[in-house]
């Protein structure tokens, strides 16, 4: 297998489960040195141990609250201390919510916008200051099909992901002259435990219970797209791999929808 990220250094937020974990494993297999960033020290260190056993000592875990600028800056600085450079940042961390126009609260607004928009804003800010001095890099933001169609997520979630999509374009224009490419990926319905409460909830269930829920979920999602299977975390991870690699060096300011064709099935009233 070719190592498409050989000698490159990447940070992945939300890397201890779901799309983030799948991306970490694929980046590692392609030669990257990685900062695995997330909230769960236990899961993060377990993933570092697993990858180190397979590929050698080129990984570290960094605990971070992505909604806090100081912690995002500290994450980037920790990467520099460990590896000396930063070539790719995947702003992946996030969570769903189900607000509506009339139900939204001030507390919920602050929490969702800080998590989904603030993390991307400050991740890009601090990655850019490092990438400028080293000749460039790739920033990838996790958006969503909820940014493009209604009824694909909660009110605040959808608005926040639309902001991520547009901030991606704005940042790509500003940073492009410094050889920093900024792109987004908009996943469709990807089969992860987030559908039944996230990784924390999954840890309370047995392997058989989780496997049963995943099989049922994948069956349902397979019926929701023209492509006759559910989306998997690896589908997003391989898209991120392409954008992070030199093969994606002329792609900038794009929001790539990876949804098996789901958005093509909906009009604006769906």
216-234: pLDDT as tens digits? 888 888 888 899 899 999 9
In the chain, what are the helix, strand and coil shares in percent, each to the nearest 5? Answer: 55, 15, 35
Domain containing 23: what range?
Answer: 9-190+232-256
User: Do residues 256 and 185 touch, judged by C-beta distance below 8 A?
Assistant: yes
Q: Dihedrals φ, ψ of 207, to 5°?
A: -60, -40
Confirm whether 54 is domain-assigned. Answer: yes
Per-residue pLDDT reduced to its tens digit, 116-131 = 999 999 999 999 999 9
CATH number at residue 50: 3.40.50.720
Q: Mean per-residue pLDDT for 237-259?
A: 97
Q: pLDDT tier at 266 (50, 70, 90 boundaries)?
A: low
User: Do residues 18 and 195 touch, judged by C-beta distance below 8 A?
Assistant: no
Whether pLDDT at 268 is above 60: no
Which positions are catalytic? 157
Per-residue pLDDT reduced to its tens digit, 140-176 = 999 999 899 988 889 999 999 999 999 999 999 999 9
Q: Count how many domains the chain has.
A: 1
Per-residue pLDDT reduced to its tens digit, 17-64 = 999 999 999 999 999 999 999 999 999 999 999 999 999 999 999 999
Which of 182, 249, 184, 259 lies closest to 224, judged by CA?
259
| Longest CA span, the chain | 52
- What is this structure's pTM? 0.93
96 exposure class (CB count in 10 Å sphere: 0-12, 13-18, 19+): middle
Confirm whether 268 is domain-assigned. Answer: no
Confirm whether 115 is domain-assigned. Answer: yes
Q: Mean per-residue pLDDT for 105-113?
A: 95
Confirm whether 68 is domain-assigned. Answer: yes
Check residue 97 and give its pLDDT: 85
β-strand pairing of 180-187 with 33-38: unpaired
Confirm whether 227 is domain-assigned. Answer: no
Confirm whether 97 is domain-assigned. Answer: yes
Confirm whether 237 is domain-assigned. Answer: yes
Quick one: what percent of the chain has pLDDT higher than 90?
Answer: 76
Taking the C-alpha atoms of residue 86 and residue 130, their distance in angstroms, rounded to an integer, is 7
Confirm whether 25 is domain-assigned. Answer: yes
């Amino acid at each position: 297998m070719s190592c498409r990220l050989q000698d490159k250094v990447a940070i992945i937020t939300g890397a201890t489960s779901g799309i983030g974990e799948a991306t970490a494993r694929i980046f590692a297999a392609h030669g990257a040195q990685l900062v695995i960033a997330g909230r769960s020290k236990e899961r993060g260190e377990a993933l570092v141990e697993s990858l180190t056993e397979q590929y050698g000592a080129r990984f570290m875990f960094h605990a971070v609250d992505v909604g806090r600028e100081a912690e995002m800056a500290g994450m980037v600085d920790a990467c520099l201390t460990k590896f000396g450079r930063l070539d790719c940042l995947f702003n992946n961390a996030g969570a769903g919510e189900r607000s509506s126009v009339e139900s939204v609260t001030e507390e919920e607004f602050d929490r969702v916008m800080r998590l989904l928009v603030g993390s991307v804003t400050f991740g890009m800010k601090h990655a850019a200051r490092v990438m400028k001095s080293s000749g460039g890099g790739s920033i990838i933001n996790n958006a969503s099909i909820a940014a493009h169609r209604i009824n694909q997520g909660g009110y605040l979630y959808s608005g926040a992901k639309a902001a991520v999509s547009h901030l991606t374009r704005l940042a790509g224009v500003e940073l492009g002259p410094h050889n920093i490419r900024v792109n987004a990926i908009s996943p469709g319905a990807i089969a992860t435990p987030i559908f039944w409460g996230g990784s924390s909830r999954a840890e309370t269930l047995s392997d058989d219970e989780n496997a049963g829920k995943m099989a049922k979920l994948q069956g349902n999602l397979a019926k929701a797209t023209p492509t006759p299977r559910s989306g998997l975390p690896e589908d997003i991870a391989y898209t991120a791999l392409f954008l992070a690699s030199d093969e994606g060096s002329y792609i900038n300011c794009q929001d790539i929808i990876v949804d098996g064709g789901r958005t093509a099935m909906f009009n604006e009233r769906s």
